[in-house]
Structures are given as structure tokens and as C-alpha cells.
Amino acid sequence: MSTAVAIALMLGVLCYAVFAGADFGAGFWDLTAGGAERGRGPRAVIDHSLGPVWEANHTWLIYCLVVFWTGFPATFADVMRTLYLPLGLAALGIVLRGSGFAFRKAVQATSHQRLAGAAFAASSVVTPFFFGTVAGALASGRVPGPAVTSWINPTSLLGGVLAVAVCAYLAAVLLTADAPAALTAYFRKRAWIAAWTTGVLSIAGIVVLRLDARRIFDRLLGPALPVALVSLVAGLLALVLLRRVSARLVRLLAGLAVAALVVGWGVAQYPYLLGTHARITDVAAPHSTQVALIVIVAVAIALVGPSFALLYTLQQRHLTEE
């Protein structure tokens, strides 16, 4: 049963990485779009794509927190005691990002619009970076540990930069599919740049993991290798097919690439939640709590899942109103 709870937690992480990752990546392209005139067109596409769904994606973050602290309370406490700095900065980024996105449409003065836009765009980069450092700390077995060096280390910094690059890639692919014909080439070019950047970072990451997180390195080249290859192939196919097939297929391939990356990390981490000292079966909540949690998760997915599916369907068909 504890493994089922861990899978439920990984499902939430996966959904947050894909859906919120696309939103964060769109903010990255907002940040790099240029001045007011030059960036007007790309920012309009970004606003249109994010408007109906950007706030809904944080549902998955709340889901992850609830499943984590209920299913593995002692481990959750270790993570919060050790990684409160990057998690707090990521939470601050989420707040600033939401405020900036909302207020830049509401305020009238140009200077206020620029300030709100800058807060939205900068927070869209800062937030995934700090979440990536948290993932690096968990993967390298530094939790529990010192409050600073646990997330300022080679693996964590690699995780932060890679998270930003992956979000940028995913967003660029999705925005290419959403963009009008005049801006398709603009976002396609950025999708290729993000893909090559992610590839270079991944190659460098192999060296970093071998030196700094040997167990994850060995597992990624062992049990998790097939999943990692799925991520690589799906990501490349999404780029190759950007101009040749339907937008729906391209979105699915890009999402699969990111999802497989997250699942690969989970496979490499198994059967531990933290390093090699927090085995899932040893740190799980009592059996009765696990059973109740699985039932609640199943009910929640049955209730919320169709709502999300309807929201994204309406958004992709341009039937929602901002």
C-alpha cells in the first residue's frame, strides 16, 4: 500500500511538472520577448494561452503537499526542516507571479504594467529554479541536512537550471502550436534553442551526477534508462513534427517528454524517498491512513479529473473567456 501512496504522490509531481511547467516556461519567454513594441505579439500569445488555466495548475501543488504530509509525515518534516529556504522562495515566486500576471492587466499606468509584467516574468524563472534545487537535494540524498548546502551544491544547481530549461522547451512547443501563423516561426525557433540547451545541460548533468550523486547516476543508466530514452525520443519527435502534424499530437509528445523525465527520476529514486535512508515502506504512515488516503485520492481524481479535461478542451478550442 505504501508503494501505491508513493505512486499517487509521483502522479501529482508529474502533473505539476507538465501543466505548471508549461506556464512557468511561458513566463520565461515573456521575460525574454524584448521591449514593449517588439514583445507585444509574443506576449499576447502567452497571455491568451495562460489566461484560462494558469491558476488551476497549482491544484497539483496542493495535491502533492497533502499526499506527502499525510502519507509520509516524518519524511515531509525532514524535507521542510532542511529545504525551507528554497521552498519558501519558490512559494514567494508563485505569489509574485500570480500577482504580476493579474495586475498587469488591471493597472492603467505604463510604468505599473511594466513592473507587474517584470514580476510575473522573473518569478516564472525563479520558481522552477528553486523547485529544481529541491529535486536535486532529494535526488542526491542531502535531506535531512544543513539548511544551505543541502540545496546549494552541484546536483541541486543542475536541477534548478535544468528545470528552467525544460519548462522553456515545453512552453515553446505548446506556444508554437497555439500561435498564429505570423508567430509560428518565432516560437519554433525558441523551441529548438530550448531543446538544444536542455540537451547540453543533460549531457553535462551526467558528469555532475556521476561525481556528486552516484546512486542516481547508476540507476538512471540502469532501471530508469528505458524511461529516459522515451523522454529523449518524444522530445525530439515533438520538434521534428512541429510544422508537419496536428498541434494536438505535438502537445502530447512534448508533454510525454517531460512526464517521462519525471517518471525516470522516480524510478531511479525507488524504493527510497530520500537518498538511501528513507525507504518507502519504512517511512510511510500507518496502514489505515494509507488506505484512507488512496480512497480519497481516487475520489478526488474522479471528481476533479473531468473538470480539468473540460477546462483544457475548452481552452484549446478557444471557447473560454479571460
**288: nearest Cα among 296, 278, 280:** 296
- pLDDT of 142 reads 92
DSSP 58: G
Give the model confidence (pLDDT) of 247-279 as tens digits.
678 888 888 989 998 999 999 999 998 877 888
- Residue 188, pLDDT score: 87
Could you tell me the pTM of the whole model? 0.90
Instruction: Compute CA 226 distance to the chain's CA centroid, rounded to the nearest angstrom.
Output: 21
Between 247 and 192, where is the model more confident? 192
273 three-class SS: strand
- Cα 34 from Cα 17, distance rounded (Å): 26
Per DSSP, helices labelled H in 39-109 are 40-50, 59-71, 73-82, 84-106
Q: Convert the pLDDT of each residue in 213-240 to its tens digit.
A: 899 999 988 999 999 899 989 888 887 7
CA angle 196, 200, 203 (to 5 degrees): 140
- Whether the per-residue pLDDT at 200 is higher than 80: the answer is yes
**Roughly what angle, to the nearest 10 degrees, separates helices 110-139 and 73-82?**
120
Total residue length of the chain: 322
Residue pair 297/67 in contact (Cβ under 8 Å)? The answer is yes
What is the identity of the amino acid at 125? V
Residue 53 reports pLDDT greater than 70: no
